[in-house]
Structure formats: structure tokens, C-alpha cells
Amino acid sequence: MKIGKLAQLAQCTVETVRYYEREGLLAAPARTAGNFRLYGAAHIERLRFIRNCRALDMSHDEIRNLLALADRPAEGCGAVNAVFDQHIVHVDERIRELAQLKEQLSALRQRCAGEQAVDTCGILQGLAAMETEARHERHTHLG
Amino acid sequence: MKIGKLAQLAQCTVETVRYYEREGLLAAPARTAGNFRLYGAAHIERLRFIRNCRALDMSHDEIRNLLALADRPAEGCGAVNAVFDQHIVHVDERIRELAQLKEQLSALRQRCAGEQAVDTCGILQGLAAMETEARHERHTHLG
DNA sequence: GTACAACCTGAAGTTACTATAGAGAAAAGT
DNA sequence: ACTTTTCTCTATAGTAACTTCAGGTTGTAC
């Protein structure tokens, strides 16, 4: 099958497929005489795997890692578990960060009820007065 | 004061300050005879405001919006509230997305307890078998 | 034979910065 | 006064995971 069909089956765009090939996530397939990419069942499986990992917000590095592990069927899957556990930690951290953010935002939001002039707006005053904190370095690739 | 002092007071790097100037978030200041940027109290206030917005994970577009509103003191702050409410919605959505993600990840994680070979690993099987869903377009800039 | 969709490559744009290189200016030490 | 160190300047490239664009080729339908 050609790239359009593959992309459709994996629910992504053809540009994304070509991008994954450049990135080394998806092996370069055979070509037709006219230079069109020709994919088979193995490619669908691989791409689906990648897209599912992405749906779980894994980074390309994490995915590359997982794919390499999956390609050595004889080995144990302790490493797979490790990648997964690490990723779950990332997600957890980000959820906690956002929850805290939401509290701050809600507190600020309550400082302005209605339609006063902006120079007495509690939100803007709050934003100007907040204690500026150093940028927290992020330990997760999740934004 | 020069850029290093300003950056220190706002808890960011000098590169970030220069970047904000290029982006139009911070007005270009006067220069010394030696071409060094010279900042005053108004710049500190402005930069603090920006950094506080960033600490709340607002995008530059949202911040630009707020700054423009704050610069028209006579007008009502309904628009400010709107920016804020919209941003809170973004954060909420992202929290829900991540919570759902975590459930999926935990469910998958339970499919592999220990050290079997990877070709029978429940996690990898799960990743290969998951129903591939179309990439949800994001309505938030939060990762 | 000609219109049109699907495909090709390569490069640039996105966000909010960070990092680097190479050079000039100012401050500190002797 | 001289040297060393620190600060600042501009311009450019890199980050993640794509998307978009420009310009050209192939395949297919009528």
C-alpha cells in the first residue's frame, strides 16, 4: 500500500509518516518504479504502535527505547516496565503541577468579579504583585 | 540598571529579557554610550508581570493580550476576566486529559508484573493492540 | 491528451526559550 | 597604567514533534 493508505489506517497524516522515517522510528520501505513508498503489514503494526505510544504522550526517545526492546524478543521485559513506570511518574508530576496552577489561577480570578476599570482590577493587581519565583526546571517532557 | 540586574530581579536570564524585547513583550529601553541597555522601575514591573504570567503557564499571545488591556486603564476589565477564564479552561482540559492518560497507562502497566520474555509482555501486546485513535487536536498550548 | 489527485524532496515555520561564537565595554585587582 | 575578569553586545543555531509550503513528478480517470 502507498503512504496515503498507511496514514489513514494509522490515523495520522502522510507528513507525519515521512517525518517518522526521517527520525528513524519507522524503517524506510521499498519503493515503486515511480519512487512511491510501498508499505506492508509490518509497517502498519509498527506505525500503530508508535501512534499509540504518542497517544499516551510518550516522547520519541521513550518510543525508540520501547521499539528497540520489543525487537529483542528473547530478553526480559523489566526494561519495558521501567520505561513505563518512569513515564507514569512524568504524567503524575505534571498533573500535580497543573492542579497547583489551577488553584493559583482560581484564587486570582476571584479577585475580580465584574466590570470595574482595569486600574482597580484585582487580577491585574495580583499579577503585578505576585512573588516572582524562579522558573522551575522541568523534569518531564510533558508541557 | 543594566540587563543583568534586571534579569536577577525578575528571576530570569538575560537571554530571556533580550528575547522578550525581540518578541515585543518588553519595550526596547534606552542605551548607554557603550550600547548597553538601561532599564528603570517601569521595566522591572513589566517584566515581573510577564514572568508571573509565565509562571501561570500563559502563552505569549495571552500575555500580550493582557498587557495591552492593562495599558488602557480607563476601560473595563471584562476582557481581562475573559482571558483568565479561557486560560483556566485550558488548564482544566489538560488536567482531565492527563488524568485519563494516567488511567490508560496504569491499566497497561498492570498487564505485566515481572520478568517474562518481551514477546509475551502484556504492556507491549497492549501497545500493539490498542485501538489507534485520531490525534486529538489540542485546544490548549499546554503540553 | 489533459485535468486532477496523490506522491516526491527540501526547507522553513511553530513555541518559548537556551546555547554558542566572537567581539567590545566596564569593573576590579595590582 | 595595565591586566584580568566579568558583563554586555549581535547574530545564529538548536530544542520537540510535528505542520506548512514551494515546486516538481507520477498515476489515474475521462
pLDDT digits (tens, 9 = 90+) for A47-67: 999 999 998 889 999 999 999
Dihedral sign from CA coordinates of B140, A48, A68, A36: negative
Q: By percentage, how much of chain B surpasses pLDDT 70?
A: 95
Q: Cα distance from B107 to chain A (closest Cα, Å)? A: 11
Measured from the CB, is B140 under 7 Å from any atom of strand C? no
Each residue of A34-65: b (16+ CB within 10 Å) or e? eeebebeeebbebbbbbbbbbbbbbeeebbbb
**Residue of B11, B92, B141 lying closest to A132 (CB–CB):** B11
Q: DSSP assignment, residue B75?
A: S
Whole-number average pLDDT of chain A:
88
Alpha-helical segments (H) within chain B: 3-9, 14-23, 41-55, 60-70, 78-109, 122-129
- CB distance B10–A132 less than 8 Å? yes
Q: Give the orientation angle of helix A122-129 with respect to helix B41-55, to 10 degrees.
A: 100
Q: Cα distance from A8 to chain B (closest Cα, Å)? A: 9
Confidence of residue B135 (pLDDT cuts 50, 70, 90): low
pLDDT digits (tens, 9 = 90+) for A89-107: 888 888 888 898 889 889 8
Cell 526546571 belongs to: A137
Q: Which long-range contacts (CB under 8 A, 24 or more apart) does B40-49 make?
A: B40/B1, B43/B6, B44/B6, B44/B9, B44/B10, B45/A128, B47/B6, B47/B9, B47/B10, B47/B12, B47/B17, B47/B20, B48/A128, B48/A130, B48/A132, B48/B9, B48/B10, B49/A127, B49/A128
Confidence of residue A121 (pLDDT cuts 50, 70, 90): confident
- Amino acid symbol at A2: K
Confidence of residue B139 (pLDDT cuts 50, 70, 90): low
Measured from the CB, is A51 under 7 Å from any atom of strand D? no
pLDDT score recorded for residue A23? 93
Q: What CA dihedral angle connects A16, A18, A23 and A27, to 10 degrees?
A: 120
**What DSSP string describes B23-60?**
HTSS---EE-TTS-EE--HHHHHHHHHHHHHHHTT--H
Return positions of chain D under 7 A from a protein CB. Answer: 7-10, 16-21, 25-27
Measured from the CB, is A64 under 7 Å from any atom of strand D? no
Q: DSSP assignment, residue A130?
A: S
3-state secondary structure of B76: strand
pLDDT at B8 over 90: yes
